[in-house]
A and B are shown apart, each in its own frame.
Chain A
Amino acid sequence: MRTLALVLALLLAVASGAAEAQRARAPRPTLVVGYLGLEDDPRWQRWETYANLELREAMDPVDGARVAMRDARIVGRVLKVKFVLEVRRAKDLDGLRAAFEELTEGGARFFLLDLPAETLSAFVAPYRDREVVFLNVSAMEDELRGEKCQANVLHVIPSFRMLADALSQYLAHKGWHRILLLQGPDPQDARIAEVFTISARRFGNEVVEVRRFLPTRDPRAREQNNVRLLTTGVEYDVVFVADHRGEFGRRVPYATVLPRPVVSLPDHGPTIGLVPSAWHWASERFGSPQLNQRFERQVEHRRRMRDADFAAWAAVRQLLEAMMKAKRTDFAAVREALLAPDARLDVYKGVPANFRPWDRQMRQPIVLGTHNAVITYAPLPQFLHQRNVLDTLGVDEPNTACRL
């Protein structure tokens, strides 16, 4: 049924397209949006564990950008330009720089950056004074918005701190104030534990104890690998697992000594219990089913939309929206519209998004969900702010380490 309709639609599209081509014979100027990423970025590989169990399917956030580019056809019709997404993937920093120079020579001024935090900060540093805008779509590390911030780097993906604050709000609202924190051996686990601990304090929650776990079955290390032993001898309302690999953490729910919920903060990886995220495939509100369906139809294998896909989609939408607002496409006008404090981009999460002036982070609601359901959206209505409720999520202006 769908196929037939599609064929019909395509035939008609060809017919009406010919008429349109005749009307708009004059070629439209091209506007290039760059997309820079790493070849074989480990963050987007299929995430497999022992015995080929798939904990996360392979993905590529460029899919999100491509979905938004479909919208660029009409925005292009209005602004009389033709939008093109140029995707470049490189092995290393040198390759990224070469691709960047090539695209800027061709006139590109706006770039989506799909890079891990360390690569990103090393890459953008020399371009501090260049007339370009970078949109970070996948690195969630807070220092990129703090001490390492840069005026021409905008962050569309939420920071870890925003995600942690969303979770902390929910725990505070439920009265689950006492938290047992289980921390893995990885440096990234330590970072996640730290950001969550700071966030817990902000919302009046307390990490009552930190216990280190080890991914081993060694009986001599049972204090650190047995969930019963890890969760006994202390009072808590909820268990937070800092385990970015998700391999140990997936066995914590339902295995604790006390019957307590388990929550975590994923780093694009597998989720454990209730998690905060930029996006959720099962969101039923604010028009999100439309975006999810659009995404699933357009990507190969109909995979579900994830946080980095969402950020890449939102980054392109931000650019298009800014151009529509500015009614032109020259760099200065678009940059100004992009950063306008009254900008309102619909990101299908109920409250419109725009960029914070103090650290260039996109304010946005955060989804709190399980593996197959949305539980609620943060900010929760009980948490108020003197200016913008979205600023109850993430590092607020008085506390920022960013000096632009």
Chain B
Amino acid sequence: MRRSSIRTALAAACGLLAVTEVQAGAQGLVYVSNEKSDTISVLDPAQDHRLVATIEACGRPRDMEWDPTKRFIYVACADDSEIGIIDVEKGEQVDAIPYIEEPEAFEFDHAFKRLFVSNEEDAALSVVDLESREVIAWIETGEEPEGVLVTPDDKQIWVTSEASNLVHVIDGETYEVLADIPVGTRPRRFAMTPDGREIWVSAELAGKVDIIDARTFEVIDSISFLPQGFRPEQVTPVDVLITKDGKRAYVALGRANHVAVVDVEKREVIKYILAGNRVWGLTLTKDEKILYAANGLSDDVSIIDTETLTNVQSVPVGQIPYKVLVRE
């Protein structure tokens, strides 16, 4: 733990004040991990997305996922080398899975028995048994593994290696490496089309998204981005989402400060929506009417109306917001 006691006390005091107004764990609230503040900001959409609470988290919180009950948030804390477990109803971290070296992104299997986490330091993907909390497998990847995707049948785990420009496909049972697929420079995140045929992966320094055939493991196409007025090197895509009907994709373009809206079938950009500085983490609400976009260098979250495709509001949060979750 690296926090100063003054900061902790201050934040705790603020947290307490806020919690008396709105339950930190009420339904419909929005949670944002702040990588540099070591906190999770809680926003209330019913109150114009006002900041209603700030939860103290472990050091350098980045990726977050819900447990199946949506009472607990699992959060990857790189500086403390643990996965923190936050009880949103109590508004505090109640537990942690320790000894996970510098976790960045992670996913659960669909039975909520295993956790797959990329370890930047070890250049590996760890498989953690959620009950015993032990690392049950450890698979060598390229340097700086990052985005993780578990196929809906849990049969494959896909992981990017940012520094090796590879996507690794790992067998979900034997943990054998099925393929190492060369992709564009600095691959970051995945999205799968709902029919399971295509895996999209963002290549941050290539300024594009590569589309991989999920059966042949070949890169079959790629989509480049360039909002007006930006230079190609400013286009640094990170997060990518595909809607449930498989028709539309959203790609956060990093330092190009826009979110690209893509027609999935035509593989064409429909629109660029202005967001904040270095937009990266994307989350849709369940009804897919609102898209939340975390802006890493302007310390705020953009709220995008997906019907009009406009940025309707920006809400300040903590420092270096990374990931957004919605409790619904």
Of the listed stretches B25-33, B139-147, B285-293, name the one at the interface; the rest are far from the partner chain: B139-147
Q: Across the interface, do B233 and A351 meet the contact criterion of CB distance under 8 Å?
A: yes
Nearest Cβ on chain B to A282's Cβ, whole angstroms? 15
Nearest Cβ on chain A to B246's Cβ, whole angstroms? 31
Residue of A nearest to B122 (CB): A9
A346 contacts which chain B residues (CB < 8 A)? Answer: 163, 165, 185-186, 205
Closest 5 pairs between A and B when the two form their complex, measured CB to CB: A12-B138, A5-B99, A74-B142, A78-B180, A71-B143
Q: Does B206 reach chain A (CB closer than 8 Å)?
A: yes
Please report which residues of chain B, range 32-47, place their CB below 8 angstroms from some CB of chain A when the two chains form the complex.
none
A294 contacts which chain B residues (CB < 8 A)? Answer: 121, 143
A287 contacts which chain B residues (CB < 8 A)? Answer: 144, 162, 186
A271-282 vs B: 1/0 string, CB under 8 Å?
000000000000
| Contact pick for B138, options A16, A71, A324, CB 8 Å | A16
A293 to B185 CA separation, bound complex (whole angstroms) = 21
A324 contacts which chain B residues (CB < 8 A)? Answer: 165-166, 182
Q: Which of B143, B161, B176, B180 has the most chain A CB within a 10 Å cutoff?
A: B143
Q: Across the interface, do B137 and A12 meet the contact criterion of CB distance under 8 Å?
A: yes
Q: Across the interface, do A352 and B233 meet the contact criterion of CB distance under 8 Å?
A: yes
Q: Does A75 reach chain B (CB closer than 8 Å)?
A: yes
A345 to B123 CA separation, bound complex (whole angstroms) = 19
Residue of B nearest to A290 (CB): B144
A351 to B185 CA separation, bound complex (whole angstroms) = 11
Q: Across the interface, do A16 and B165 meet the contact criterion of CB distance under 8 Å?
A: no
Known A-B contacts A8-B135, A16-B175; the reply to A297 vs B121 at CB < 8 A is yes
Please report which residues of chain A, range 1-25, place their CB below 8 angstroms from some CB of chain B when the two chains form the complex.
1-2, 4-6, 8-9, 12-13, 16, 19, 23
Q: Does A307 reach chain B (CB closer than 8 Å)?
A: no
Interface residues of A: mostly helix, strand, loop or mixed?
helix
Q: Does B118 reach chain A (CB closer than 8 Å)?
A: no
| Contact pick for A70, options B143, B186, B205, CB 8 Å | B143
B233 contacts which chain A residues (CB < 8 A)? Answer: 350-352, 389
If A9-B122, A324-B166 are given as contacts, then 19 extra A-B residue pairs at C-beta distance below 8 Å, sorted by A number, are A5-B81, A12-B138, A13-B138, A70-B143, A71-B143, A74-B140, A74-B164, A75-B164, A77-B180, A287-B162, A290-B120, A290-B162, A294-B121, A324-B182, A327-B182, A344-B185, A346-B163, A350-B233, A389-B231
Nearest Cβ on chain B to A379's Cβ, whole angstroms? 11
A6 to B138 CA separation, bound complex (whole angstroms) = 12
B166 contacts which chain A residues (CB < 8 A)? Answer: 74, 78, 324
A351 to B235 CA separation, bound complex (whole angstroms) = 11
Residue of A nearest to B134 (CB): A8
A1 to B177 CA separation, bound complex (whole angstroms) = 29
A16 to B177 CA separation, bound complex (whole angstroms) = 11
| Contact pick for B182, options A19, A78, A351, CB 8 Å | A78
Q: Across the interface, do B161 and A352 meet the contact criterion of CB distance under 8 Å?
A: no
A293-312 vs B: 1/0 string, CB under 8 Å?
11001000000000000000
**Selected A-B contacts with CB under 8 Å, 23 pairs:** A6-B101, A9-B138, A13-B138, A19-B176, A71-B164, A74-B140, A74-B141, A75-B142, A75-B164, A78-B166, A287-B144, A287-B162, A287-B186, A290-B162, A324-B166, A325-B182, A344-B205, A344-B206, A345-B185, A346-B163, A346-B185, A350-B233, A352-B205
Residue of A nearest to B234 (CB): A350
A321 contacts which chain B residues (CB < 8 A)? Answer: 165
Nearest Cβ on chain A to B238's Cβ, whole angstroms? 12
A12 contacts which chain B residues (CB < 8 A)? Answer: 135, 137-138
Number of interface residues of A (CB under 8 A): 37
Known A-B contacts A4-B99, A78-B166, A346-B163; the reply to A9 vs B124 at CB < 8 A is yes
A138 to B277 CA separation, bound complex (whole angstroms) = 36
B180 contacts which chain A residues (CB < 8 A)? Answer: 74, 77-78
Nearest Cβ on chain A to B76's Cβ, whole angstroms? 15
Please report which residues of chain B, range 101-151, place their CB below 8 angstroms from some CB of chain A when the two chains form the complex.
101, 120-124, 135, 137-144
Q: Does B98 reach chain A (CB closer than 8 Å)?
A: yes
Q: Across the interface, do B99 and A1 meet the contact criterion of CB distance under 8 Å?
A: yes
Q: Across the interface, do B175 and A70 meet the contact criterion of CB distance under 8 Å?
A: no
Nearest Cβ on chain B to A21's Cβ, whole angstroms? 13
Nearest Cβ on chain B to A327's Cβ, whole angstroms? 8
Q: Does A73 reach chain B (CB closer than 8 Å)?
A: yes
Please report which residues of chain B, range 160-214, place their CB below 8 angstroms from some CB of chain A when the two chains form the complex.
161-166, 175-177, 180, 182, 185-186, 205-206
B231 contacts which chain A residues (CB < 8 A)? Answer: 389
A8 contacts which chain B residues (CB < 8 A)? Answer: 99, 135
A358-390 vs B: 1/0 string, CB under 8 Å?
000000000000000000000000000000010
Residue of A nearest to B102 (CB): A293
Q: Across the interface, do B139 and A16 meet the contact criterion of CB distance under 8 Å?
A: yes
A77 contacts which chain B residues (CB < 8 A)? Answer: 140, 177, 180
Residue of B nearest to A7 (CB): B99
B122 contacts which chain A residues (CB < 8 A)? Answer: 9
Nearest Cβ on chain B to A153's Cβ, whole angstroms? 25
Known A-B contacts A1-B81, A294-B143; the reply to A71 vs B163 at CB < 8 A is yes
A19 contacts which chain B residues (CB < 8 A)? Answer: 176
Q: Across the interface, do B176 and A23 meet the contact criterion of CB distance under 8 Å?
A: yes
A389 to B233 CA separation, bound complex (whole angstroms) = 10
A344 to B140 CA separation, bound complex (whole angstroms) = 25
Residue of A nearest to B163 (CB): A71
